[in-house]
Amino acid sequence: MAGANSTSFRLETLLGYAESHRVTVCLLGGVMVAIIAWVDSLLPTMSIGFLYLLPILISAAALNGIQIILLSVLCSFLREAFDPLEWSAGAGGRILVAGAGFAMTGFFVIGLNQRRRLLREHLNDLETEVRLRKDAESQLRALIETSPLAILTINAQGEVLLANESARELLDFEEATLRGVDITPYFPILPRMFQSKHRGGNVRTNVECTARRSTGEFFLANVWVSTFGSSSGPGLAAVIWDASENLRDREGAGLDSMLATSRVLIGAFSHEIRNLASAAATSYQAIAALDGLQRNSQYEALGSLITALESIAHSGLRVASQREPAVTDLGTVLDEARIVTEPLLRDAGFQMTWSIAEGLPLVQGEQRSLLQVFVNLARNVVVHGADWPERSVSVTAGLEQDLVTVRFHDSGPGVARPDELFKPFQPGAQSCGIGLYISRAILRSHGGNLRYEAAAKGACFVVELWPVEQRVEIL
């Protein structure tokens, strides 16, 4: 059986793709013509001219149109030459008819061979596409099944069509299949997506919602959803991430950041109160020697008030000093600041350039607090630069002498009274006017500083931080 298949394959290769065996096919056809003519000459009483169709059928795949016509004329002439009928006046017509028949047979073989070749190429392409599709489906199936994110599809009735292992684990269906389960009790928002009046009928969005596991436990989910159409109706694909841990971390970090900022504010305002209380105490002592005031009740009340302010200031400074020293990768902070501030400035029409030196050392400071400082500087530019004809901001960072400095330089008109920049509650300031005051207080709480630097054009604010290798004692 194997030998027969091999022979059939070789014959198919020989006949179906004769262009690659042109010489062999032509020789085979010529030999067959010679054999048929010789046999026909040996049988003068028998007509075997129809056998000339065999070399035509075999050779046509390797010949062009003119060669087929010439071969057909030759075969028809030989047929007539050895025909048992004698030559007559109608011999030329018979040669013409036979030649036309042989030629038409040859052209039929050419067309049939071309169709067979096209069919074979089409089948090969189809097999390749099927193989590639199976490979893609296998890769996609492996990607979905091994994904740490929950992936599932549902129909318009809210029934699960497909779900990966992560989806089953997310909803605590480890021992049971999710296929055919109504998803509404677990993700109520998903079936409602089919009712969305989105333009074009397709929905592609990200939602944050509360979901429920099969055990009844609630969790926060980030869901990327998209609708699609199929032969059985509309469907929805969802990629789900359990954001509960991220929510706890975010709220915990937010609380820590709020407490850290609060300590900074308490320390800054306590420092101002202490300065005022010290000045008041000095004046109080200076007028204490005046006659008649020692026993004055209002004078004594003033002294008690000054003492209370000093006590409050010392308490606030003591609370502000109760913190752990923090170490931060400034490069990471600047990357985060770029992610946050670039869209803000771009939407306001600003062009932003960054020039960050490589190998910046670790600095003293808390990551979220430093990020707040840079975001505040960017917001100040947006607020004050709405009418600037030229809008650009450049941020440069590097090591200067013993300090790590970050310069935030804009293209505005500059600051008219730089000595009043860091004073809180400035008249005419946006909001309450304490943004720069708080930013400098944050930096000073870690031993750094925020200062204004005069420039030929625009305003330049310089953030100064101490490298960890040169740790300073923060008072």
Tell me: the pLDDT tens digits for 283-328?
Answer: 666 666 555 555 566 666 666 666 666 666 556 555 555 556 678 8
Same domain, 332 and 439: yes
For residue 210, the cross-strand partners are 220
CA distance 18 to 53: 17
**pLDDT tens by residue, 59-86:** 777 777 788 888 888 888 777 777 655 5
Domain boundary among 180, 207, 242: 242
CATH of the domain at 181: 3.30.450.20
Could you give the percent of the chain with pLDDT greater than 90? 11
The boundaries of the domain holding residue 183 are 150-242
Provide the token pair at 455.
Answer: 């420039």
Average pLDDT over residues 352-363: 89
Q: Is 341 exposed, middle or buried (0-12, 13-18, 19+ CB in 10 A)?
A: buried
Q: Residue 475 falls within a domain, yes or no?
A: no
Could you give the percent of the chain with pLDDT greater than 70? 72
Pairing, β 150-155 against β 403-410: unpaired
Examine the pLDDT at 432 and tell me if it is beyond 50. no
CB 151 within 8 A of CB 239: yes
Provide the token pair at 65.
Answer: 């149109």
For residue 234, the cross-strand partners are 229
Quote the Cα angle for 269-385-431, to 5°.
Answer: 30
Write down the residue that tokens 């771009």 correspond to.
Answer: 346
CA of 150: how far to CAs of 143, 225, 337, in Å? 12, 12, 31
pLDDT given at position 406: 94
Same domain, 106 and 217: no
Same domain, 114 and 207: no
Domain boundary among 286, 320, 354: 320
Average pLDDT over residues 191-200: 69
Strands (DSSP E) found in 202-350: 204-212, 218-230, 233-242, 327-328
Examine the pLDDT at 460 and tell me if it is beyond 60. yes
CATH of the domain at 393: 3.30.565.10
pLDDT given at position 266: 65
CB 129 within 8 A of CB 219: no
Same domain, 189 and 223: yes
Closest CA to 361 of 398, 394, 334, 326: 398
Write down the residue that tokens 């071969």 correspond to.
Answer: 71
Same domain, 92 and 218: no
For residue 225, the cross-strand partners are 205, 238
Q: Residue 172 falls within a domain, yes or no?
A: yes
Read off the pTM: 0.52
pLDDT given at position 89: 54
pLDDT given at position 28: 82
Same domain, 331 and 458: yes
pLDDT given at position 16: 46
CA distance 310 to 318: 12
Same domain, 165 and 90: no
Average pLDDT over residues 137-154: 87
Q: Residue 196 falls within a domain, yes or no?
A: yes
* DSSP character at residue 411: -
Q: Residue 7 falls within a domain, yes or no?
A: yes
CATH of the domain at 314: 1.10.287
CA distance 427 to 380: 16
Q: Residue 132 falls within a domain, yes or no?
A: no
Indicate the number of domains in the chain: 4
Same domain, 463 and 340: yes
For the chain, the straight-line distance linking the first and the last C-alpha, in angstroms and rounded, comes to 96
Provide the token pair at 202.
Answer: 């397709």
Closest CA to 55 of 131, 116, 109, 113: 109
pLDDT given at position 9: 47
Closest CA to 262 of 322, 337, 222: 322
Same domain, 338 and 465: yes
Same domain, 45 and 97: yes
Domain boundary among 282, 298, 320: 320
